[in-house]
Amino acid sequence: MIQKNLRSVSLSVLLMMVLAVFNAQAESLEYEFAESSRSIMRTGPDQTLMMLVQQLYPDKQEIWPRLEKEIKDRNPHAFNRYTGKIIPGQRIKLVTIKTIRKSHVLNQHVVGAVQAIKGSAVATDARGNDRVLLGKADLYEGDRITTETGAALVIKMVDDAEIHLKQNSSVRITEYKMKSGFETGSRSILDLIKGGLRTITGAIGANPLSVYRFHTGVLTIGVRGTDYVVMLCEGNDCKKSSGRNDADARLHVVVLDGLISLQDEEGAVGELIMGQYAVASQQTKVIVNDALPVGGLLNEKELDLFNDIQPRSKEDDSSPIWPWILGGALFGL
């Protein structure tokens, strides 16, 4: 009896060891680097490259030596050619890190991860399987992410883009591909199914050689480096979320930074710049020049950002890009 129990325990321990080794091999990490929009304007006399790398990339200890080499290679003007030390007062361009996380078990690429979560949220994969999302949970191409009432979710994508999903909302990561050097072939295709979100684009959205599309069922948004809020609302009441196929759904869009393009099936509708607000339906697409966003569209932080940029946007009344009207007469809000 004792021998039988010992054999059972030994088999259990062996099985656990095998699973641990398998899981360790089930995921691999690869890194690629591209020039970042961030930079250090003036280096101090006592700063070293090692100090800068450790301060700027504290969570990347395993690639600190590679980061030092990348930054040095991209900023030859900032380093003494003989000693290799930083020349005080120099401007140094930083790098963006592309992390490729490969899950061999699922045969999928990790395209993002949960950065912060409040309340309940679920990811549904391409096969229809649900996963309850917790902090740091990985997200895969094809996942549909859904939040419940009172929930909120922040997702960090592999190109450093951010998706802030609002409550009672759903978005699908239809396609997300990062090619070497963030260049031709990189694609970000998202589909808003219900509700709304704020998105801050990353390397894909900022690169003119990549493809960025955000489908809403009403209009498709294209972008080149920006920050915007978009929501499908029950008419003009953004305290109530609508689905893209609901008859009363209206699309509300606010640009907090940069520029976005708006398109329907027939082509370009127009563009929105920082501080502008648009409302659209299936029947009528219209840019609203001076109206304030309806209640429920922006949270407190987003509303503060919108109010901060209003004086600047009001001064640019010479902009030739508005108004555009497509598909019908102007409707009141």
The 10s digit of each residue's pLDDT in 275-295 is 999 999 888 776 665 678 999
As a whole number of angstroms, the distance between CA 98 and CA 158 comes to 6
Q: What is the pLDDT of residue 32?
A: 79
pLDDT at 41 over 50: yes
Of 263-267, 305-309, 325-329, minimum mean pLDDT range:
325-329
- Judged against a pLDDT cut of 50, whether residue 321 lies above it is answered with no
List pLDDT tens digits, range 224-247.
678 999 999 999 999 999 999 998
Q: Could you report the per-residue pLDDT of 125-140, keeping only the tens digit for each?
A: 988 999 999 989 999 9
Inter-residue long-range contacts of 130-135, CB under 8 Å, 24+ positions, other chains counted: none
Higher pLDDT, 328 or 95: 95
Q: What is the pLDDT of residue 109?
A: 78
Overall average pLDDT of the 251-280 stretch = 88
pLDDT reported for residue 13: 42
Percent of the chain whose predicted confidence (pLDDT) is above 90: 47
Please tell me whether residue 125 adopts helix, strand or coil conformation: coil
* Ramachandran bin of 245, using left for φ above 0, alpha for ψ from -120 to 50, beta for the remaining angles: alpha
DSSP, collapsed to helix, strand or coil, labels residue 14 as helix
When pLDDT is averaged across residues 204-233 and rounded to a whole number, the result is 89
For the segment 46-73, what is each residue's pLDDT rounded down to a tens digit?
Answer: 889 999 899 888 888 889 999 999 999 9
Torsion, Cα 117 262 259 199, to 10 degrees, reads 0
Other CB atoms closer than 10 Å to residue 257's CB: what's the count? 15
CB environment 15-50: b (16+ within 10 A), e (fewer): eeeeeeeeeeeeeeeeebbbebeeebeebeeebebe
Q: Taking residues 28-40, report their average pLDDT.
A: 76
Domains in the chain and their CATH numbers? Answer: 28-100 (no CATH), 109-326 (2.60.120.1440)
Residues in contact with 45: Cβ distance below 8 Å, sequence separation at least 6, in sequence order? 88
pLDDT at 314 over 50: no
Residue 14's pLDDT band (cuts 50, 70, 90): very low
Which helix (H) or strand (E) is 236 found in, with range? none
Average pLDDT, the chain: 81
